[in-house]
């Protein structure tokens, strides 16, 4: 998606430790009008699929997923990073390794909101090593629901996540695929 | 907002410990089409104000704020609950007491995304004792920005948060105000 690549070049910042900072428009401040263009693009890509629900993970996936969901007219469910007192019912749970933060955490989804046979599209801001995506897929499988595919805003294609998930037969559509990046040379797209 | 009150009656569940569970449409699963009605209502209420930015707090505020922001055509900034490695720049910080979870945590906003003189509307899902709202207000003040007001989806009006903030001269608009609630008698609105 040219518009996104241009925006990453303009406003993204490459930091030490393999970090692409897009927090001025994706994951701290959210450019909502821009995200509508992202939503339209995901609808162009997945609009012909039967989709009952969009699944994402807190926190930075939520805003994007909600904007995207408007084009599909389906609810968003977001996996929560810890089990809170507000979830009474049983939950599906899975583990995520965060390489950015150097931590491992559980994500949970209430069994009320992922049901057998539902067709679920995953939406997230980043795909790198794939831990969050695999974990969301695991929640969907636990529920006996179907994984329609994953819509990713930015994929670090030089890492293995995308390959692993595509090799499992899951459709992954990334709107910007980064071939390489460095503080010195900036971002190069596939 | 009648539509919201009806939905709370229909889908909300009152639990022990003063918990109103609306996670089937507000804060775990999000009914995005319904949230557009919430967005229109906030625009009806605040549309005549000069607003540069919407501020909310992760996680459950983000989806609502993004949907609402579309009507104002302004970006959303969400305060993060911990300082992550992804935020390089200096941050404004403030403390929140979560009565639901029995914890205290810091919230942060990058100084890049709250600027002196900006007019900021706060959007959040719940207002009870007011700790999160007061903390968001504190971030805005730290930046030298202006608090336009707060748009709250559900206010537990039998708790003191709304009164405290209104007494400070801040405009608080809550779409549903709960007068009382109990497991036995359900929800009564103001």
Within a domain: A190: no
Q: What is the pLDDT of residues A49-103, one digit of tens each?
A: 999 999 999 999 999 999 999 999 999 999 999 755 444 558 999 999 877 677 8
Within a domain: B190: no
ipTM of the complex: 0.94
Within a domain: B10: yes
Whether B30 and A75 lie within 8 Å, measured CB to CB: yes
Within a domain: B188: no
H or E element in which residue B105 lies: strand B103-110
How far B86 CA sits from the closest chain A CA (Å)?
A: 7
pTM (predicted TM-score): 0.95
Within a domain: A97: yes
Within a domain: B67: yes
pLDDT tens, N- to C-terminus, chain B (190 residues): 999 999 999 999 999 888 999 999 999 999 999 999 999 999 999 999 999 999 999 999 999 999 999 999 999 999 999 755 444 558 999 999 877 677 888 999 999 999 999 999 999 999 999 999 999 999 999 999 999 999 999 999 999 999 999 999 999 999 999 999 999 999 999 9
Q: Which domain holds residue A82?
A: 2-185
Chain B residues whose C-beta is within 8 A of a chain A C-beta are 15, 17, 19, 21, 23-25, 27-33, 35-36, 58-59, 62-63, 65-67, 69-70, 73-78, 80-81, 84-88, 100-102, 109-110, 112-113
How many domains does the structure of chain B reveal?
A: 1
Within a domain: B189: no
Domain containing residue A158: CATH number: 3.40.50.2020
Within a domain: B54: yes
Q: Which of B82, B86, B88 to mutate to test the interface with A (most CBs of A within 10 A)?
A: B86
């Amino acid at each position: 998606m040219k518009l996104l690549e241009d925006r990453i070049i303009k406003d993204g910042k490459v930091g030490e430790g393999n970090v692409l900072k897009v927090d001025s428009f994706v994951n701290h401040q959210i450019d909502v009008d821009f995200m509508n263009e992202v939503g339209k693009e995901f609808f162009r890509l997945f609009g012909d699929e039967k989709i009952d629900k969009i699944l994402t993970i807190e926190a930075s996936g939520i805003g994007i997923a909600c904007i995207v969901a408007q084009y599909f007219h389906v609810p968003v469910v977001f996996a929560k990073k810890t089990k809170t007192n507000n979830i009474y019912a049983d939950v599906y749970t899975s583990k995520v390794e965060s390489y950015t933060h150097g931590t491992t955490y559980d994500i949970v989804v209430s069994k009320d909101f992922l049901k057998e046979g539902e067709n679920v599209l995953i939406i997230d801001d980043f795909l790198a090593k794939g831990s969050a995506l695999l974990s969301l897929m695991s929640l969907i499988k636990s529920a006996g629901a179907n994984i329609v595919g994953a819509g990713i805003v930015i994929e670090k294609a030089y890492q293995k996540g995308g390959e692993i998930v595509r090799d499992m037969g899951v459709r992954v559509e990334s709107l910007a695929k980064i071939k390489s990046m460095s503080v010195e040379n900036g971002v190069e797209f596939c």
